[in-house]
């Protein structure tokens, strides 16, 4: 089964399960309040981290370097803010993990190692034969 379809099915099931479990422990009003509070705090912190990433990207540009980490980090922060806006505890947890610089850096390092290994395993050579053609025959007019 496609992972996207599986994610679309499993994430809401997990969120509903967590709503029921946490709501039975702390009450419905507290659960709803907690969802709104985590969304507000998460979006504010994502904005703060996004501005720090933007500032770091501009400093990289001033040094005449490509801000690759900052661009990827900015995209991850936008995704994390989206996860924090979506109501739910599991998405909030993942969103907070992506917002904090330490965990974001660890995740990026793991993904970059994975892609480096795939690139190293990839052979960039095309095997074939060639024939040396004398250029003098082509230039005679």
pLDDT digits 0-9 by tens, 72-128: 888 888 888 888 888 899 999 998 898 888 998 888 888 888 777 666 666 666 777
Query: 74 or 25: whose pLDDT is higher?
Result: 25
Percent of the chain with pLDDT over 70: 85
Asked if 78 contacts 99 with a C-beta cutoff of 8 angstroms, the reply is no
Distances (CA, A) of 95 to 80, 87, 132: 4, 11, 60
Name the pTM for this structure: 0.71
pLDDT of residue 29 exceeding 90: yes
What six digits make up the tokens of 139? 């230039």
pLDDT of residue 141 exceeding 70: no
pLDDT of residue 9 exceeding 70: yes
pLDDT of residue 48 exceeding 70: yes
The span from the CA of 114 to the CA of 1, in Å, is 23
Tell the burial category of 93 from Cβ atoms under 10 Å away from its Cβ (0-12, 13-18, 19+): middle
What six digits make up the tokens of 59? 């400093």
pLDDT of residue 2 exceeding 70: yes
Predicted local confidence at residue 109, as pLDDT? 86
Residue 39 host element (H or E): helix 28-62
Q: Which residues contact 56 (CB under 8 A, 6 or more apart)?
A: 67, 70
């Amino acid at each position: 089964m496609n992972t996207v379809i599986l994610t679309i099915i499993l994430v809401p099931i997990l969120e509903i399960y967590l709503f029921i479990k946490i709501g039975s422990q702390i009450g419905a009003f507290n659960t709803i309040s907690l969802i709104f509070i985590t969304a507000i705090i998460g979006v504010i912190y994502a904005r703060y981290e996004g501005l720090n990433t933007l500032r770091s990207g501009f400093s990289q540009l001033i040094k005449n370097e490509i801000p690759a980490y900052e661009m990827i980090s900015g995209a991850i922060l936008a995704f994390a803010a989206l996860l924090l806006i979506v109501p739910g505890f599991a998405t909030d947890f993942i969103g907070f993990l992506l917002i904090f610089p330490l965990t974001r850096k660890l995740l990026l390092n793991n993904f970059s190692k994975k892609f480096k290994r795939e690139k190293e395993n990839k052979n960039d050579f095309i095997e074939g034969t060639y024939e040396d053609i004398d250029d003098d025959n082509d230039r005679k007019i």
